[in-house]
Amino acid sequence: MGNFNEHYEAGKSVAIIAAIGGLVLTLNGGRDIGEGVIVAAGIGIVVLGTSLLPDIDHQASKPREVAGRFGAVSVVAGILGLVLFAPEIVDQLGLIVNAFGINGNPSSLGLGALLIGGIVLLASGGEMFDSLTTHRGFTHSLPFVVLVGIITVLVTWHLSSYGGVLAAFAGQNGVLVGIAAAIGVIVHLGVDSK
């Protein structure tokens, strides 16, 4: 079983090779050098990141520590984002709370439900995650490799719809990034099998 540094070094080596391969494939696909460099950088970053990802299921790992911080920021940002950019969802949540016999303004009830849910997630999210995972369980399996690859393709395609630099990841380039994500997890599994 590899430690963080072994996973990092293996991921870094494969990321460089994958980035070069992504650049070549992008250029051979008729894209310009600028798009090729963007896709290559994305592929390299994704391979390196996903080569560390499976250890999210280990309580004392660096990926788990980062995920905990990211999770906490995501909960707070999610609540703020809903309140600021999707108040209709907050109102709908308030109507659901109202259906349970709690009277009040739907916006206030929805906000209250979001805050209570956020506090519960922040207070016990790590413990809930621990109870659902075991080290070298699902995140160290081939179904996880496939899941990470598919999710990465879908997220990449969605992000490409925002345009700008992210537009480089549309279509086949998004698939390349998804394959890179799966390769990163496979690198992790390979280091662990030594």
Q: How many CB atoms lie within 10 A of CB 111?
A: 19
Cβ(168)–Cβ(35) below 8 Å: yes
Read off the pLDDT of each residue in 160-164 and give the average, rounded to a whole number: 92
pLDDT of residue 129: 65
Lowest mean pLDDT among 36-40, 131-135, 142-146: 131-135
Read off the pLDDT of each residue in 25-48 and give the average, rounded to a whole number: 95
The whole-angstrom separation of Cα 129 and Cα 89 is 26
For residue 98, what are the contacts with CB-CB under 8 A and spacing of at least 6?
Answer: 104, 106, 109
For residue 153, what are the contacts with CB-CB under 8 A and spacing of at least 6?
Answer: 174, 175, 177, 178
Q: How far is CA 131 from CA 21, 120, 181, 194, in A?
A: 39, 15, 26, 28
Q: Where are the beta strands (DSSP E) in the chain?
A: none
Two structure tokens written together for 2: 């590899």
Cβ(148)–Cβ(63) below 8 Å: no
pLDDT of residue 116: 94
pLDDT-derived band at 131, boundaries 50, 70, 90? low
Cα torsion 64, 67, 69, 70 to 10°: value is 170
Two structure tokens written together for 121: 């997630």
pLDDT-derived band at 55, boundaries 50, 70, 90? confident
Helices and strands: H and E segment counts in the chain: 7, 0
pTM of the model: 0.73
pLDDT-derived band at 135, boundaries 50, 70, 90? low
Give Rg (Cα) of the chain.
Answer: 20
Q: How many CB atoms lie within 10 A of CB 33?
A: 10
